Amino acid sequence: MEWHIQEARNGELTLLLNGVAIYSKYRPYDDAMRWVVKEFNQEATHYLVIGLGLGYHAQALAELTTKPIYVYYFEQVELALFQQNGSQLASNIKLVNSLEVVANTINLQLLVSNVWLKAIGENNALYDVLDTIKRNQISYKKFAPLMHSNAEKNKALYEHKPYPKRSNNTACLVASGPSLNETVQWLVEAENVDIYVVGSALKLVLAKGIQPKAVVITDAQPNIVRQIEGTEYKGLLFYLLTANAEAVNLHQGEKYMLCQRGYEQAEEQADKYSLPKLATGGSVATTTFSLLEHLGYQNIVLLGQDLGYSDKRTHAEGSTSGKVVMNSSIQVQANDGSIIKTQPNLHVYLRWFNEYCPTANANVYNTARQGAKINGTQFITKEQFLQL
């Protein structure tokens, strides 16, 4: 890493890391304070700041709280620069060079700015995990009020009953990636499989005359209603506690609540009714994967789980999600050995699958030929799929 100290317009020192300005070139400390105030969660019991730099973010946070603050520095050069040029830190701040030191993550707020992510670059060993956390934080902050409102409505209408048991040993997790336009026909010929469809793929599947065992919805936003409205689907519905309450209420068949791990209201509901606390991963497909693992399937087959695209569409034609994209700088390897593009949110989900599939209790198979290669999965053809 290349570190350079410069003087800002107001006379304070500022910092460049790998050519990226960590602070403002006009008023560095004030800039850091504005960001910290915007991000600060006073309900947290302790804090982890990623990036020491000249200590501005840590000092700003210490002005807002006397609770413990851990500050992670990337290398000894960074620590030396701070010791030579930074101010004395408050007594509640501890500098660390290993995240293992911060063992207690309950009620911990992690603060990492976009400029630090940009400065360390995608090749840094911590980039993937920090980028995932950052994107999840942004998403949660944006939708937190809506999630809470949905949770309250869904709890009020909840009727507890045990989850239905699996009918077969093999489950198909049907997402709405581009490859589903090809592989959805495989389901017409399939026997002895339980089909779980994410909400955005439901209408496409029903149009082929396929009746899934269940549909899964997780999105808090109102537009998710269109995934169900206008259909005559009356099969099972699995819905996240925070999923759009109107969509949940619209469904006329049996309904089963899913509780996400790490969300306080959901964990309370799970404890009250002895429901599993599922790792959701940020998407409906990752949530469905966790559900299938809990239900104990021996085989899980991923259909339409592309997590990337070779053309310009992120989702299958006929699904209720997706968009046309013109360009992306993020590239991943596909199952056929080619290189495909992906979007930041899809890349986050790919990281989740790469972490969870290798340790899954089930055998996991992937059918997206030009979809992203997922660690711990075996790519299979139509013939191999039908043999399952």
Q: Are residues 110 and 178 in the same domain?
A: no
pLDDT band at 90 (very low <50, low <70, confident <90, very high): very high
Q: Are residues 204 and 276 in the same domain?
A: yes
Q: Are residues 107 and 208 in the same domain?
A: no
Whether 142 is covered by a domain: the verdict is no
Separation of alpha carbons 23 and 32, rounded Å: 7
Separation of alpha carbons 208 and 217, rounded Å: 20
Q: Are residues 200 and 303 in the same domain?
A: yes
Separation of alpha carbons 111 and 141, rounded Å: 13
Whether 109 is covered by a domain: the verdict is yes
Q: Are residues 115 and 60 in the same domain?
A: yes
Sign of the CA dihedral running 163, 165, 167, 170: positive
Q: Are residues 196 and 301 in the same domain?
A: yes
Separation of alpha carbons 324 and 201, rounded Å: 17
Work out how many domains the chain is built from and give that number. 2
Whether 155 is covered by a domain: the verdict is no
Q: What is the mean pLDDT of the chain?
A: 91
Whether 263 is covered by a domain: the verdict is yes
Whether 283 is covered by a domain: the verdict is yes
Residues 167-203 have pLDDT tens digits of: 999 999 999 999 999 999 999 999 999 999 999 999 9
Q: Are residues 171 and 95 in the same domain?
A: no
Q: Which of 17-21, 176-180, 344-348, 368-372 has the lowest mean pLDDT?
A: 344-348
Predicted TM-score (pTM) of the model is 0.75
Q: Are residues 95 and 234 in the same domain?
A: no
CATH of the domain at 247: 3.90.1480
- Six-digit token string for 100: 């293992």
Q: Are residues 230 and 286 in the same domain?
A: yes
Domain hosting residue 111, numbered range: 3-125
Q: Are residues 232 and 84 in the same domain?
A: no
Q: What number is the average pLDDT over the span 227-238?
A: 93
Last residue of a domain, one of 125, 150, 184: 125
pLDDT band at 328 (very low <50, low <70, confident <90, very high): low
Whether 153 is covered by a domain: the verdict is no
Q: Are residues 79 and 174 in the same domain?
A: no
CATH of the domain at 39: 3.40.50
Q: Which amino acid is at 385?
A: F
Q: Are residues 189 and 288 in the same domain?
A: yes
Last residue of a domain, one of 95, 125, 155: 125
Strand-strand pairing, 3-7 and 13-17: antiparallel
